[in-house]
Amino acid sequence: MSALQELRKPVVWWTRAGVVLGAVGALTTLVPFIGIAELGRRLINGQDATGVAVIIAVALVVGFLCNGGALALTHVADARLQALLRRRIVARLGKVPLGWYSDTTSGAVRKAAQDDIEDLHHLVAHHDVEVTGAVVLPLGGIAYLVWLDWRLALLAVATLPIYLAAYAFMMRGFAGKMRELDSGFAKVSAAIVEFVHGIAVVKAFGQANRAHRGYLKAVGEYGNRYAGWVRPILRLEALTSMALAAPVVALVSLAGGVALAVDPIDLLAEVLVAMVIPTTLLTLNNGLTAQRRAVAAAERIVALLDTPELPLPAVAVEPDGHLVEFDDVSFSYDGSTSVLDGVSLVCEPGTVTALVGGSGAGKSTLAKLVPRFYDVSAGAVRIGGVDVRDIAPDVLYRKVGFVLQDVQLLHGTVFENIRLGRPDASAEDVVAAAVAARIHEKILSLPDGYETVDPVFSGGEAQRVSIARALLADTPVLVLDEATAYADPESEASIQDALSVLCRGRTVLVIAHRLATISGAQQIAVLADGRVAELGTHSELLALDGRYARMWQASAEVAL
């Protein structure tokens, strides 16, 4: 079963019912065309035409009701399918590993969850009914002409082969081209999202022109690819579409009818039917284009829905305590290149363990194994003596909290954002957490205080909201990823105060880039090439006069 068929399966009976009504509506639409010719025949022969007029009127009413009913059914099917797909996407994305979000751009997710589902709208709500009408109407008309005179049927489609041959040539490789264009547009969306998310930093460092280059490059590549494909097609279509132009179709029909000396009334019927065919071809063309777009969209939606979920334990085990252990841990993102290799480390409850090292040493990767952003390739990560893979996800996230340098505040009030980790928390608990995080006064200065929706926070203020959220969640294990990376000096002091409150009594793992912020940690692990190169307190590591000592010296020189 194709991706598109799989997605449409829940509403297939709705669309089939719409197709049946659409077919009836299309046939009744043909009645007025035939009726006009019959009216002319009866009037010329001096016969009563009342019955024909009544049939035409009834056919118009029936056609209107059938076509309206068909579209109503398919629009209901579309609404149901969109709601179902969005619920499925949300449900699946709620079960994928957290590391998946680090590896996937929000632009690609937005395209699948929003744009691609919208691309299915025309297919489900319009395509089947319109294509059915576009096929039934001309076939019914041609069958009528064959009944009158087979030569008239040939006249009605005389110009059609010219356009069909050109159309087949223009549509060569269409599906592949659409995939390329969709891929290019996904890059454009990702570039826009990336620029908007980083605009504050970009403006602060005067790099606006440089930041625009990624967006301009993506747009330029998309535009060039699209123009290179469409330009020659437009020239050919401009010429061949004349074969379906109303004056050309009428002229060919009349000239052929006169040459064949057919009955004038029959020729009138042929001209009316022949004039309908180009409009149905346009509907078919639009429908096929929409179908190809929908096929590509369906493939991306199915790929998103097939994203591997975080494996759940067959039998969940409750951790006994908050000791964090890395036991001979190895990890690789691609299955070949090791990021971590045989790391062993013990983080005692109530202590702070700092991870330091150069870029690419594996600090962030090691820390993210604790909340299962990823699962180890070898070895084990344990909390309270239990492998994190054997802990139910909801229990794990009650045990492990994290404050990352890239803070994400959700749409909603400040109160809702702080209470995210503990939805049942009271207002007093929320305020207490904000006070401890040194962000309470700032919140009170907002127009609606804690009920302010989507307030504008500085980087340091947003970080303190994130810390308040972590305080309220009250997880015994905490992972911190350089929480003061983008803060100004004043905010950094407040954040450090808030962090000192947050870390009390917890098992804390800190990813440190500025060594001065972790000199008081109970143990510092220096990572290099995915291994623990040195381990000890600040004083012990300085006494070793090794990697850490050189890093400390370098940081002291930078500070000067």
Looking at 3.40.630.30, 3.40.50.300, 2.40.110.20, 3.40.47.10, the CATH number of the domain 324-559 comes to 3.40.50.300
Any idea which of 467-476, 508-517, 551-560 has the lowest mean pLDDT? 551-560
Helix H, strand E, coil C: the string for 146-211 is HHHCHHHHHHHCCCHHHHHHHHHHHCCCHHHHHHHHHHHHHHHHHHHHHHHHCHHHHHHCCCHHHH
Rounded mean pLDDT, 462-489 = 78
Q: Is it true that 3-305 and 324-559 share their CATH fold?
A: no
The confidence band for 217, taking pLDDT boundaries of 50, 70 and 90, is: confident
Using 50, 70 and 90 to split pLDDT, how confident is the model at 23? confident
The tokens describing 448, both together, are: 């609606």
Please say if the pLDDT value at position 202 is more than 60. no
As a whole number of angstroms, the distance between CA 309 and CA 225 comes to: 35
Task: Place 331 in a pLDDT band, splitting at 50, 70 and 90.
Answer: very high
The answer for residues whose C-beta is within 8 angstroms of residue 299's C-beta and 6 or more apart is 3
Give residue limits of the domains in the chain.
3-305, 324-559
- Model confidence band, residue 203 (pLDDT cutoffs 50, 70, 90): very low
What is the distance between the terminal CA atoms of the chain, rounded to a whole angstrom? 66
328 with 379: CB under 8 angstroms?
yes
**pLDDT tens column, 531-544:** 999 999 999 999 99
Sole residue written with tokens 């797909």: 85
By the 8 A CB rule, do 270 and 260 touch?
no
The per-residue pLDDT for range 273-315, each reduced to its tens digit, is 777 777 777 677 677 777 777 777 888 888 888 888 888 888 8
Give me the helix-helix angle, 264-305 and 174-197, nearest 10°. Answer: 50
Closest CA to 461 of 478, 432, 441, 482: 441
The residue with tokens 């929480």 is 483
Lowest mean pLDDT among 88-102, 111-125, 167-181: 167-181
> Bigger pLDDT: 349 or 481?
349
Please provide the CATH number assigned to the domain covering 3-305: 1.20.1560.10
Determine the pLDDT at residue 204.
Answer: 44
| pLDDT beyond 90 at 369 | yes
Rounded CA separation 220/183 (Å): 14
d(CA 289, CA 220): 24
Instruction: Report pLDDT for 1.
Output: 44
Amino acid making up residue 336:
S
Per the listing, tokens 């000199």 go with 519
Residue 311 DSSP code = P
Task: Quote helix, strand, coil % in the chain, to nearest 5.
Answer: 65, 10, 25
Decide: helix, strand or coil at residue 407.
coil
